[in-house]
Chains A and B, each alone.
Chain A
Amino acid sequence: DQQVKQNSPSLSVQEGRISILNCDYTNSMFDYFLWYKKYPAEGPTFLISISSIKDKNEDGRFTVFLNKSAKHLSLHIVPSQPGDSAVYFCAANAGNMLTFGGGTRLMVKP
């Protein structure tokens, strides 16, 4: 019973274009959402987060959108760069526990 789902296991985009990574959740108790980026043989690193009281948070090339009614969030990367190629994990917080999605592998082609 996966409470956080990333339905696209992989995504390929051209350098300079927009990358959109999606995440769906089922638990309405989640009140804080995070995106992590992971390179091979490394641990996940925090990228950006959003509180449930907001619908958008922006940090440079990265923007996270939250649609609470749809229980959906997305990460936009504009413009995409080859160095963005990694696995991206969506995570949701309820109480004192993070629940992670299964990850989406992003490949940015030069």
Chain B
Amino acid sequence: DTAVSQTPKYLVTQMGNDKSIKCEQNLGHDTMYWYKQDSKKFLKIMFSYNNKELIINETVPNRFSPKSPDKAHLNLHINSLELGDSAVYFCASSQGVTYAEAFFGQGTRLTVV
């Protein structure tokens, strides 16, 4: 019973395609995040949702669109994939938006060829 699960774990796709990564948490948390770990291994926040509402939207191309159908899910849709989108994407959740330890999923390694 994984706390934060994301699928798929690996995703290889061609440039220009549209893909989605799904994330679900069973911790009852009210805040969910998407992070990107780039080639230099830095983890950078992309989006944050609290109670299904977007509260953080960092400088991310609008080809990336998060969708939160309910508090337990935050999916990431990426349109017109580019080579530079290749990275590991981590979903995370926490209770509250401050002073809370986030629980991370295992990551999705996206490779755009």
Residues of A within 8 A of B103 (CB): 43, 45-46
What is the interface residue range for chain A against chain B? Answer: 20 to 34
Q: With A89-B43, A100-B44 given, is the CB distance from A46 to B102 under 8 Å?
A: yes
B97 CB–A CB distance under 8 Å: yes
A59 CB–B CB distance under 8 Å: no
Digit string of A30-45 for contact with B (CB within 8 Å is 1, else 0)?
0010101000011111
Listed stretches A19-27, A61-69, A72-80, A91-99; interface member: A91-99
Digit string of A2-36 for contact with B (CB within 8 Å is 1, else 0)?
10000000000000000000000000000010101
Residues of A within 8 A of B43 (CB): 44, 89, 91, 100
Instruction: Point out the residue from A43, A51, A95 that lies within 8 Å of B106, measured CB to CB.
Output: A43
A49 CB–B CB distance under 8 Å: yes
Q: How far is the CB of A16 from chain B (nearest CB, A)?
A: 28
Best-buried of A36, A91, A97 by chain B (most CB within 10 Å): A97
Chain A residues engaging chain B, CB cutoff 8 angstroms: 2, 32, 34, 36, 41-46, 49, 51, 87, 89, 91, 93, 95-103
